[in-house]
Amino acid sequence: MTAPIIRHLTDLRACTKGWHRAEETIGVVPTMGALHDGHLSLVAAAKAACDRVIVTIFVNPKQFNQSTDLDNYPRTEEEDARKLARFEVDAIYVPDVMQIYPEGFATNVSVGGMTDVLCGAHRRGHFDGVATVVTKLFTQTSADKAFFGEKDFQQLMVVRRLARDLDLGVEVVGCPTIREEDGLAMSSRNLLLSDRARVNASRLIEIMEDVVGQLGTGADFAPLQAKALTRLAAAGFTDIDYFELRACDTLALLARPSAPARLFAAAWLAGVRLIDNIDIPVPD
């Protein structure tokens, strides 16, 4: 059975009020739609942990720094509702812009420090847009738990920090990245790849895994990074925004995985920006 699609905040509040009165826990899975198995794994995690589950679908204009990117973002609401049917979620919240940013909206939520690097450095204003909309979605849904994928690891850190700093009373749960058979991290943007680019896209994770393997043998990162950039260019990646080794907790740059670390990459392939990150075991 397809879940009710709710488009107005007043209708959403009518549901959540009743659920809270009945002392039911509410889980939210914020999305921008074009749902894939990565999103659906978050929905499954929310279903397992909460009495009620709301999936939100809102293509947030404030987090896009190029209008063409916003215009091209895939919108597949009917298909999304069909994919959610088997999970029996309690509501699909699909607000229009006025429900989120009513006339005269003038507030900006900005998380300092950790947003100066990686995607924050390459997409100015992006994380302010994410932080602002996520704060709105948390307060509008009054969720107890919220589910985010580790594929957007920096986003997960930003959201955790804002939930804590603003005492939003929501537990932010990180869930593992879900991958295609060839290793490509699932992303709504993969739909924008041409057939040829799709074949090359998996080279990103392949090269990242090679680097992680060599880091495990005690090699320094700098020469591995240089070689990886050459290999990515040979695979057709045009601009490489970053290919960096960073600490998991602070996102500080590392020369070798001396602390719990992750390898982060963002690169453009045939006009599509792909991002990925993987955990690195600390060598003994």
Annotated catalytic residues are: 39
| Cα–Cα dist 105/66, whole Å | 21
DSSP state of 146: E
**Chain residues 209-238 in contact with ligand PAF, contact rule CB under 6 A:** none
Element (DSSP H or E) covering residue 31: strand 26-31
**Chain residues 65-94 in contact with ligand PAF, contact rule CB under 6 A:** none
Structure tokens that stand for 151 in this block: 């594929």
Q: Is 63 in the site for ligand PAF (CB under 6 A)?
A: yes
Structure tokens that stand for 212 in this block: 């992680």
Give 90-114 as a DSSP string.
SEEE---HHHHS-TT--------SG
Q: Whose Cβ is closer to ligand PAF: residue 31's or residue 41's?
A: 31
| Cα–Cα dist 248/280, whole Å | 9
Stretch that binds ligand PAF, among 29-37, 234-242, 252-260, 273-281 (CB under 6 A): 29-37
Among 6, 94, 130, 193, binds ligand PAF (CB under 6 A): 130
**Hey, CA dihedral for 188, 42, 76, 134, is it positive or negative?**
negative
At its nearest, how many Å lie between ligand PAF and the CB of residue 134?
6
At its nearest, how many Å lie between ligand PAF and the CB of residue 257?
26
Q: With CB under 6 A, what is the number of residues at the site for ligand PAF?
A: 10
**Chain residues 241-260 in contact with ligand PAF, contact rule CB under 6 A:** none
| Cα–Cα dist 246/256, whole Å | 9
Rounded to 10 deg, the angle between the 37-49 and 77-84 helix axes is 40
**Chain residues 146-205 in contact with ligand PAF, contact rule CB under 6 A:** 152, 155
Among 94, 111, 133, 254, binds ligand PAF (CB under 6 A): 133
Structure tokens that stand for 160 in this block: 């955790």
Q: Whose Cβ is closer to ligand PAF: residue 152's or residue 244's?
A: 152
Among 6, 15, 30, 42, binds ligand PAF (CB under 6 A): 30
Binding site for ligand PAF (CB under 6 A): 30-32, 60, 63, 130, 133-134, 152, 155
